[in-house]
Amino acid sequence: MKTKLLLIAVIAIFLTQLSCADKKKMVLQTHKEAVDTLSTGSKDTLVKFADIDIHKLLDTSDLSRMFCNYDSLGAFDNRFDGFFGEDHYRIQFYFASVKRDSVNHLVYNIEGKSKFKENIAPFKGKIVLEKARSFTDPKINLAEWKYNGDSLTGIYSLVGRLILEEDKKLGHAGVFNGDFRVEFANMAKSDKFLWFYSPSIGSKGAGFASAGTWQQYGKPNAKPFVFGRDIFMFANDILADFSYGERDIQINEKYVHLGWDNYWEQDEWWVESKKAM
């Protein structure tokens, strides 16, 4: 009987050690690292830019659908996360409408809402695009970007500014004023799409991003903000080890108290009268 118990104990210890060894080998991959796996493996990491005429690139192109999804089921695609204030508390933005200006095609007029803690504020604002560059990323093999007979013809980086003016009637409202950076790709036959695969430039792989300051109406102090289409591409650069996970994003427990406890809840906070999903 003692021999049998000893054998069971030895097996249990062996399995425990094996499990621990496996855990030591397991590495949690971040969202950004997952995108990096698409790399060609080139040792050349220098992205090469070429200045181009922004009017020639955009005067006949409407980018509004890259900033706002108008599909009936796409509401959550129009909600973007960010960080606000010195403590980097979570802030959210919802773009209800983004339309290219009828006169100046480099301006996109925005309507939506912001949410910080329990404060929700409607806003109106605009994106003003000012500079365009084409670029080549040596870590990306563009020849592989083919789908249904279509091919990629170029990738571009745009720089501009963003201003969002919250409703002045609210006591907690103010103005967001910052830069705006976006990368997108052109296909030969199909629509343009946001480019998430070059995290060393512009929006840092977020598709589009904005960083600047928020100034409350009638108050002297400004607070920093940053948000993006995919904030998780650079969130770990703002808060160390903020998140991990390739697709199912996990928030580090030490940051959950900064407004991330309900990240996976499908809360339609921008809707006046909420409906259950």
Query: Which pLDDT score, from 0 to 100, does residue 274 have?
Result: 52
End-to-end CA distance of the chain: 59
What pairs with residue 89 in β-bridges? 84
Question: Residue 69 phi/psi, 5° resolution?
Answer: -90, 120
Burial class (CB in 10 A: 0-12, 13-18, 19+), 213: middle
Per the CB < 8 A criterion, the answer to whether 107 and 101 are in contact is yes
Per the CB < 8 A criterion, the answer to whether 168 and 191 are in contact is no
Question: Residue 31 phi/psi, 5° resolution?
Answer: -60, -45
Domain membership flag for residue 3: no
Task: Residue 65: give the domain boundaries.
Answer: 48-258
The CB density around residue 201, as the number of other CB atoms within 10 Å, is 16
Domain membership flag for residue 142: yes
Domain membership flag for residue 112: yes
Domain membership flag for residue 15: no
Q: Which helix (H) or strand (E) element contains residue 215?
A: strand 208-216
Query: Which pLDDT score, from 0 to 100, does residue 26 have?
Result: 38
Alpha carbon 175 to chain centroid, angstroms: 21
Report the C-alpha gap between 142 and 39 in whole angstroms: 11
Report the C-alpha gap between 203 and 38 in whole angstroms: 18
Query: Which pLDDT score, from 0 to 100, does residue 266 have?
Result: 83
Query: Which pLDDT score, from 0 to 100, does residue 249 have?
Result: 85
SS3 at position 211: strand
Return the structure tokens found at 104. Answer: 């100046």
Alpha carbon 144 to chain centroid, angstroms: 24
Q: What are the Cα distances from residue 224, in Å, to 82, 88, 178, 185?
A: 11, 9, 9, 30
Burial class (CB in 10 A: 0-12, 13-18, 19+), 122: middle
Q: What are the Cα distances from residue 159, in Å, to 116, 134, 162?
A: 26, 12, 10
Query: Considering its fold, how many domains does the chain have in total?
Result: 1
Domain membership flag for residue 53: yes
The CB density around residue 63, as the number of other CB atoms within 10 Å, is 21
Could you tell me the mean pLDDT of each successive run of 10 residues in the chain, 277 residues long? Answer: 41 40 46 66 79 96 93 82 98 98 98 98 99 93 80 94 98 98 93 92 97 97 97 96 84 96 91 62
Domain membership flag for residue 31: no
Per the CB < 8 A criterion, the answer to whether 76 and 121 are in contact is no
Query: Which pLDDT score, from 0 to 100, does residue 177 have?
Result: 99
Alpha carbon 259 to chain centroid, angstroms: 17
Domain membership flag for residue 196: yes
Domain membership flag for residue 70: yes
